[in-house]
């Protein structure tokens, strides 16, 4: 079992630097520019203090997978000058009745896995007079245990989202299978890139109004982010390699 590690400010700073360097090297191997890839530091289960350390090191994009924990962290950093320009990303499974707590507060919802959820985001966004940017979550490997549309369902789902005036589909997201061998996910990443390029060409994925590179492709975690970057990721979601191992038992907030 993994044990929780509480890293120092210096360790978090050096981890961020190391992950950015690995992103840059993977970008170079693929002939891409390193600033085409946004590092989303996944701070779930970690204390706000760790987020503060990352902010001090210049990190500006943070991912969380539980609505309540995300909102607590947003609240903590809301008025703090050192958090100027921070972007919060919802990356976990989202229930429709929680949508109202996120709309207007997060920069991007990565994990839209049903059309009904997109419709709920539409409803809340219209109420607040905002446009919410989203990704469709794709279950690339068809894993039973995972949320998301199948590759085949993606186009119809994107078409349905296109009809929602307060929801903007800017790309796709996946969590590839957990593996010891990141190479085994290369084919999935490549297939998702092809799918997103196709939907973009058809106008079903549209340019971001929040400055995100489009079509946005959110793929790659601690175990496989370099392969994901080589295959076209524009956002990688990295937790463990930045903040250390997580201990879910210590998590105070579950939903």
Residues of this chain that interact with ligand PLP (CB under 6 A) are 42, 44, 65, 91-92, 175, 221-223, 237-240
Please give the structure tokens belonging to residue 175.
């969590």
Cβ of residue 228: shortest distance to ligand PLP, in angstroms?
11
Contact between residue 87 and residue 113 where contact means Cβ atoms under 8 Å apart: no
Q: Which is nearer to ligand PLP, 122 or 224 (CB)?
A: 224
Q: Which is nearer to ligand PLP, 68 or 222 (CB)?
A: 222
Cβ of residue 101: shortest distance to ligand PLP, in angstroms?
18
Q: Which is nearer to ligand PLP, 74 or 164 (CB)?
A: 74
Cβ of residue 92: shortest distance to ligand PLP, in angstroms?
5
Q: Which is nearer to ligand PLP, 42 or 134 (CB)?
A: 42
Residue entry with tokens 């929680």: 98
Number of H helices, E strands in the chain: 8, 8
Cβ of residue 250: shortest distance to ligand PLP, in angstroms?
15
CA dihedral angle for residue 127, residue 128, residue 129, residue 135, rounded to 10 degrees: -100
Max Cα separation, the chain?
A: 47
Give the end-to-end CA distance of the chain in Å, rounded to a whole number: 23
């Amino acid at each position: 079992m993994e044990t929780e590690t509480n890293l120092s400010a210096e360790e978090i700073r050096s981890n961020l630097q190391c992950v950015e360097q690995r992103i840059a090297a993977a970008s170079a191997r693929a002939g891409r520019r390193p600033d085409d890839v946004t590092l989303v530091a996944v701070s779930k289960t970690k204390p706000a203090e760790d987020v503060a350390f990352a902010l001090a090191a210049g990190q500006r994009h943070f991912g969380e997978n539980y609505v309540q924990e995300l909102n607590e962290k947003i609240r903590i950093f809301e008025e703090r000058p050192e958090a100027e320009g921070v972007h919060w990303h919802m990356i976990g499974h989202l229930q429709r009745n929680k949508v109202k707590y996120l709309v207007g507060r997060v920069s991007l919802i990565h994990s839209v896995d049903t059309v009904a959820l997109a419709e709920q985001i539409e409803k809340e966004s219209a109420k607040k007079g905002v446009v919410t940017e989203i990704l469709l979550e794709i279950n690339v490997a068809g894993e039973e245990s995972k949320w998301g549309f199948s590759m085949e369902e993606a186009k119809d789902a994107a078409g349905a989202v296109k009809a929602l005036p307060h929801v903007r589909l800017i790309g796709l997201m996946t969590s590839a299978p957990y593996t010891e061998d990141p190479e085994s996910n290369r084919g999935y990443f490549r297939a998702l890139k092809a799918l997103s390029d196709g939907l973009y060409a058809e106008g079903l994925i549209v340019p971001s109004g929040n400055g995100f590179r489009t079509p946005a492709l959110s793929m790659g975690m601690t175990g496989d982010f370099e392969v994901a970057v080589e295959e076209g990721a524009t956002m990688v979601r990295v937790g463990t390699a930045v903040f250390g191992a997580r201990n879910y038992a210590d998590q105070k907030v579950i939903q």
